[in-house]
A and B are shown apart, each in its own frame.
Chain A
Amino acid sequence: MPGLTGKDQVLTDYANKLAVLDAPKGRSLTQDALRRLSKNKAAVVSIGIVVLIILVAFIGPYFVPWGYSEVDWTSIRKPPDFDKGHYLGTDQNGRDMLARVLQGTQMSLIVAAVATVVSVTIGVVYGAVSGYFGGRVDSLMMRFVDVMYALPYILFVIILVVMFGRNPVLLFVGIGAIEWLTMARIVRGQTLSIKEKEFIEAARASGAKPFAIIMRHIVPNLSGPVVIYATLTIPEIIIAESFLSYLGLGVQEPQTSLGTLISAGAPVAEVLPWMLLGPAAVLVTLLLCLTYIGDGLRDALDPKDR
């Protein structure tokens, strides 16, 4: 067909002409928000520190003289010793603390990232569907969330661990499966207000299917609360992971996480303080920075609320 009339050729030429025609890019709401965020000093510094922590946690282990499970028999329970390369000292088994802190940070970050992605994905889809369809579907879906809420998540994780054995993947699933509940509630509330807007009615009047409306019109307009909540979920997940590891349900030896390191360091804080100080400093810095980023994002995405 295209060769018959040459219509496509003509159209393509015209379209190309339109494309090169000076059509200035608009300022999207996201760009606006990023510009406001870049003016927030605390948030920018926090982003810098978090990026630095991530880079060091993933690249650092290649430059550290000792491995995280390597035992140095000559220095057990020793304070920082620069000659031997134990920059943060060693633990009771003679393992290098710096290497262990790096590995622990890595593990905590991975758990946080995966669990956040899981909870945001499930929460957004669930909440948007529930809010958009409303009525009986909504009541049913939200009652399920209420039931899940009532379940203590420690119990949930213990059941999972008993059934499938100890496994970091299980940790992601367990934490992600709990964290999405709050996300779903937030998203549902937002959806209820967005779906009454005229542009949703316009989309319905022009024949868009419910799924298309949810994906094209509702979800993009949810990005504000979702991004904010996600940044505030990450510290929550890191703490939950630390807590589970502290109870011995999380990461397994010789692997470690920030929570495991702190739980090992806490009882000996008086005699071997370097075992607690390193991981605690990283955890506190990380949580503080993420909270600042969340605050900054909230102000940037919703300038009216300030």
Chain B
Amino acid sequence: MIETREPILKVRDLAVEFTLGSNGLFGGKKILRAVKGVSFDLYQGETLGIVGESGCGKSTLSRAIIRLLPATAGEAVWLGRDIQKMNSNELLDLRKDIQMIFQDPLASLNPRMTAGDIIAEPLKIHMPNIGKAERAVRVAEMMQKVGLLPTMINKYPHEFSGGQCQRIGIARALITNPKLIICDEAVSALDVSIRAQVVNLLMDLQKELGISLLFISHDIAVVRHIAQRIMVLYFGEVVEIGEAEQVTMDPHHDYTKRLIASVPVPDPKVEMERREERRRLRKAAAKAA
């Protein structure tokens, strides 16, 4: 069924390189290749999970897709237009269609603005001609939708809990009716019970609004829960991409196997056996390297 549809986002051989400052006067410049030729498709209404360890280029990839960072090679095509070649008007449209949710719930909200102002900001940028009254109404509706009380509109971020802050972040991302939301480690900073709530909220909203999600995380367990397809990144390269079921139950690549083996299981007996398994995988990886 998926094959017959046209993807909304096509990424082809996207690469991002950083030039590190030369050390000393005569030291040569070093080039850090953070993302090395990543390709994937994303379809309307689907969730693609991107997993990998810290520093493997997940966040860099997401920022290069929406042009917060310049890509050095390759292309990202959004609805048939290359994002790297967009002019400022097209880019503004893109910013309306693709929104982002960030890792640190509190740090991603301006401490000097009220919750209402924070949620309303994308509206002011993208729909400047709707009136103040309508804006207030939309903000109030959105707050209800993400599980916040509209009476909290005048509160400041430091008066909310971490989970509530992340809900504000989600409301801000949803207010412009985007087609794609990039969740960059959106639940990693939350504790386990709140994490489940926020993940379920994201899944409900996705079902209701038909948006696509690019869900980035280092935690393959969370990704397996939310994503239909999973892409595994390792040192800036795609090592495995496929249906969530297949990637988690029958991983092909050694790195994926190790990632899955590292997920803790709440049963000490099983955990003992898995420790053996992890040791074996590590040895195999060491021998290969």
Contacts and interface: CB of A to CB of B under 8 A. Distances in A.
A45 B154 CA distance: 33
A221 B112 CA distance: 7
A205 B121 CA distance: 12
A29 B159 CA distance: 10
Nearest to A206: B122
Given A202-B172, A205-B68, A27 B151 contact: no
Interface in B76-109: 91-92, 95-96, 99-100, 102-104, 107-109
A71 B206 CA distance: 85
Contacts of B214: none
A35 interface: no
Interface residues of A, number: 33
A207 B108 contact: no
Interface in A17-44: 18-19, 21-29
A208 interface: yes
A24 B154 contact: yes
Interface stretch (A62-70, A153-161, A193-201, A264-272): A193-201
A25 B159 CA distance: 11
A14 interface: yes
B133 A15 contact: yes
A18 B96 CA distance: 26
A11 B91 CA distance: 31
A23 B153 contact: yes
A206 B92 contact: no
A74 interface: no
Interface in B100-137: 100, 102-104, 107-115, 121-122, 125-126, 131-134, 136-137
A6 interface: no
B42 interface: no
A26 B121 CA distance: 18
A84 interface: no
A205 B66 contact: yes
Nearest to B111: A29
B151 A24 contact: yes
A5 interface: no
B110 A27 contact: no
Dominant secondary structure of chain B at its interface with chain A: helix
B235 interface: no
A8 interface: yes
Nearest to A202: B108
B102 A198 contact: yes
Contacts of B91: 207
A203 interface: yes
B29 interface: no
A220 interface: yes
A207 B96 contact: yes
B14 interface: no
B279 interface: no
B111 A221 contact: yes
Nearest to B66: A205
A207 B133 contact: no
B136 A18 contact: yes
A23 B150 contact: yes
Contacts of B169: 202
Interface string A213-242: 000110011010000000000000000000
B122 to A, nearest CB: 4
Among A18, A203, A207, the one with the most B-chain Cβ atoms within 10 Å of its Cβ is A207
A11 B122 CA distance: 20
A21 B150 contact: yes
Contact of B156 (A11, A21, A26, A204): A26
A202 B102 contact: yes
Contacts of A22: 151
Contacts of A11: 131, 133-134, 137
B66 to A, nearest CB: 6
A201 B121 contact: no
Contact of B107 (A25, A199, A206): A199
A124 to B, nearest CB: 15
Given A25-B154, A206-B125, A207-B125, A8 B133 contact: yes
Contact of A198 (B66, B103, B122): B103
B150 A197 contact: no
In the A-B complex, the 9 residue pairs with the closest CB atoms: A207-B95, A26-B155, A15-B133, A198-B108, A220-B112, A206-B122, A205-B100, A26-B156, A198-B107
Interface of A: 8, 11-12, 14-15, 18-19, 21-29, 197-199, 201-208, 212, 216-217, 220-221, 223
10 contacts: A15-B133, A18-B153, A21-B150, A26-B115, A199-B108, A199-B110, A205-B68, A208-B125, A221-B112, A223-B112
Given A8-B133, A15-B136, A23-B151, 14 more contacts: A14-B137, A15-B133, A24-B154, A24-B155, A26-B115, A26-B155, A198-B108, A199-B108, A202-B108, A202-B172, A205-B95, A207-B126, A216-B113, A220-B112
